Amino acid sequence: MAGQATQIPAARAQETAARSASDPAVNPKPPSHQTAVHLAGVRIAFPGNGPAQPPFVAVEAVDLAVADGEFVAIVGPTGCGKSTLLNAAAGLLAPSSGSVTIFGAPLPGLNRQAGYLFQAEALFPWKTAVENVAIGLDVAGVPAAEARERALAWLKRVGLAAFAGRYPHMLSGGQRKRVGLAQVLIRDPKILLMDEPFGPLDAQTRQIMGNLLLDLWTADRKAVLFVTHDLEEAIALADRVVIMGAGPASRIIGEWTVSLERPRDIAEVRLEPAFHALHREIWAALRDEVVKGYRQTEGVA
């Protein structure tokens, strides 16, 4: 049955249990039922190209709630407004109508309870890995010695303790993504917004980064809103997959609960029959929207 729970391979489960027993940082935090992000009736429109041009409606009538501790992935065709919704949740875009609330309070501006990991790298090339990770604490007025100590601890958590003194150009793409992840998480945001963060990476590195993200999320149980074009990635990572139709005026056209048992391994969970059943079910709903979106980008429709 699609979405039915399945057993994770014993080796992965034993590995995670061993890490949890030996490292207090990865003891799972129990999930909360509080709503972290709520988009209610959100419509976002941009001005037309000229005075005679009507506004371009990116998303229309979007209702989406993400619980504290929940991992939600958004999938949809290119140009359907996935990143627009993230920007609304981040407070970078104000809805034309509708509302955005964060932990029950209206969002008046920049969402300071959220960390945002973009597809493009945001590392300073003249700073070392540890300096890049610490920069958010420096800006917040944390003493330099404390900021460095905490940054080193985060580099250890993402497996880069030995690379603290290296500059971005001396790191691989996957290593730079790890630094970027630590840079966001060191501020301990309650919400993590991720816009195709692993898109530029090769398939093997994406799997490694996916497993790292799941380990960190299991430990801290932040609310995650994750945008991806990769349906397999969405199912492997998320508690719930939301799909959007082709734009303009894109809407949410469906959502599925992912009942695959945790902990998960990104590569191994894709071999499970329940994974394939859920993938077929979601893709059947998404396929026509992807084709429609492709035709729009080609000027066919």
CATH number at residue 97: 3.40.50.300
CA distance 177 to 123: 9
| Of 223, 209, 177, 246, nearest in space to 66 by CA | 223
Q: Are residues 106 and 209 in the same domain?
A: yes
- Look at residue 2 and tell me if it is in a domain: no
Q: Does residue 5 sit within a domain?
A: no
Task: Work out how many domains the chain is built from and give that number.
Answer: 2
Burial 136-160 (b: 16+ CB within 10 A, else e): bbeeeebeeeebbebbbebbebbeb
In this structure, are 214 and 288 located in the same domain? yes
Nearest to residue 212, comparing CAs of 231, 235, 185? 185
Residues 130 and 166 in one domain: yes
Domain end among 171, 188, 205: 188
Q: Exposure string (b/e) for 247-256, b if CB count within 10 Å is 16 or more?
A: bbbbbbbeeb
d(CA 213, CA 71): 11
Q: What digits encode the pLDDT tens for the residues 229-279?
A: 999 999 999 999 999 999 899 999 999 999 999 999 999 999 999 999 999
- pLDDT above 70 covers a percentage of the chain that reads 88
92 and 239 part of one domain: yes
Looking at the structure, tell me whether residues 92 and 206 fall in a common domain. yes
- For 64, counting Cβ atoms within 10 Å of its Cβ (0-12 exposed, 13-18 middle, 19+ buried), the class is buried
Contact in structure between 92 and 110 (CB atoms under 8 Å): yes
Query: And the tokens for 90?
Result: 């981040």
Let me know if residue 270 belongs to a domain: yes
Between CA 218 and CA 192 the distance in angstroms is 13
My answer on whether 216 and 94 are in the same domain is yes
The 10s digit of each residue's pLDDT in 132-150 is 999 989 888 999 999 999 9
pLDDT tens string 74-112: 999 988 999 999 999 999 999 999 999 999 999 999 999
The whole-number pLDDT of residue 208 equals 94
In this structure, the answer to whether residues 273 and 161 fall within a common structural domain is no
The DSSP H or E segment spanning 60 is strand 56-67
Q: Is residue 203 part of a domain?
A: yes
Domain residues for the domain of 174 are 121-188
3-state secondary structure (DSSP) of residue 172:
coil
Domain shared by 270 and 287, yes or no:
yes
Residue 80 shares a structural domain with residue 203: yes
Q: Quick one: 246 and 180 in the same domain?
A: no
Please check whether residues 145 and 240 belong to one and the same domain.
Answer: no
